[in-house]
A and B are shown apart, each in its own frame.
Chain A
Amino acid sequence: MDAHVAQLQMQYRNYILSLYQQGFLDDQFTELKSLQDDGSPDFVAEVLSLFFDDCVKLVGNMARALDQTGTVDFCQVGANVHQLKGSSSSVGAKRVKGLCINFKELCEAKNYEGCVRCLQQVDIEYKTLKAKLQDMFNLEKQIVQAGGIVPQVDIN
């Protein structure tokens, strides 16, 4: 096997494992990967693109709802958090999902400062995940361009 391809594949395996170990991803991401095949070769990229579009929209909605000069509609904030929790859990975005669970509790408690802080964390976290997954896709591209196959990574 070409040494360069083997090195890239090893780098890829280690990178994927680190994403799970550091809590960025969970088993649901493995499920997403398993649904990608010759019939849906870009499935993971497509779903993630929809997810990150969702993040932009929902974080924007939450920011506007929390930026009210009058009474904050915590129900509206909570509804957006609920939606983000659903989509983050569906793609295996573990840290984002975890933040949404806390965020929902803060909305129910009508904790304004807590909600604002949590929203900032959600914003940072989804952008961090997006950058990490972009690096993952770049590694996949490098492997394919070098003539190799993207390896399946056993996370167990």
Chain B
Amino acid sequence: MATTSTGDIEKTKSVEVKKKLNVLIVDDDTVIRKLHENIIKSIGGISQTAKNGEEAVNIHRDGNASFDLILMDKEMPERDGLSAIKKLREMKVTSMIIGVTTLADNEEERKAFMEAGLNHCLAKPLSKAKILPLINNLMDA
């Protein structure tokens, strides 16, 4: 802290470059991709989208992708969420992965989805209130 000639304390502003949350949104539905994009934007994050699990895996193939968080739908054509998560974990992707599904209330389905390599599972529809606590924990870690 610097003091002025009059003795007032001049508060120094600490300039902090806060890293923007970088999210990959994986869902075959355009409405849900748009909704999730805006939720992430509303909490100051940036996002990229993939229409299915295969696209999500391909984004990671060159090894340069670096997402803090992946929001993964379960039922998708070409490669479903379960298969995509298993593949991403085999590829040593360490991003937090949140499964987003309408089947979240079915305990058996949820368990299989979690065991594929998820960090958390949330039921659709997503909202800021649902996702913010998980993201705050991620950013604090």
A residues near B, CB below 8 A? 28, 31-32, 34-35, 37, 39-40, 43, 46-47, 50-51, 53-54, 82-83, 85-87, 89-91
A-B contact pairs, 14 of them (CB 8 A): A31-B127, A34-B128, A35-B39, A35-B42, A37-B42, A50-B31, A54-B29, A54-B30, A86-B102, A87-B31, A89-B124, A90-B29, A90-B32, A91-B35
The residue on B at minimum CB distance from A34 is B128
Q: Is the CB of B42 within 8 A of A86?
A: no
Q: Is the CB of A85 within 8 A of B102?
A: yes
The residue on A at minimum CB distance from B27 is A86
Please judge, given known A-B contacts A40-B41, A85-B102, A86-B124, whether A91 and B75 are in contact too, CB under 8 Å.
no
Please judge, given known A-B contacts A35-B39, A43-B38, A82-B102, whether A87 and B127 are in contact too, CB under 8 Å.
no
User: Majority SS of interface residues in chain B?
Assistant: helix
Most buried by B among A28, A35, A90: A90
Q: Is the CB of A83 within 8 A of B28?
A: yes
What is the number of contacts between chain A and chain B, taking CB atoms within 8 Å?
55
Minimum CB–CB distance for A101 against chain B, Å: 10
- Compute how far the CA of A89 lies from the CA of B29 in the bound complex, rounded to whole angstroms: 12
**Which residues of the partner chain A approach B30 to less than 8 Å between Cβ atoms?**
50, 53-54
| Known contacts A31-B128, A32-B35, A35-B35, then 12 further A-B pairs from the complex at CB < 8 Å, ordered by chain A residue | A28-B127, A34-B128, A35-B39, A40-B38, A83-B28, A83-B29, A86-B31, A87-B32, A90-B29, A90-B35, A90-B125, A91-B31
**Which residues of the partner chain B approach A87 to less than 8 Å between Cβ atoms?**
29, 31-32
Interface readout for B95-125 with A: 1 if CB under 8 Å, 0 if not? 0000000100000000000000000000011
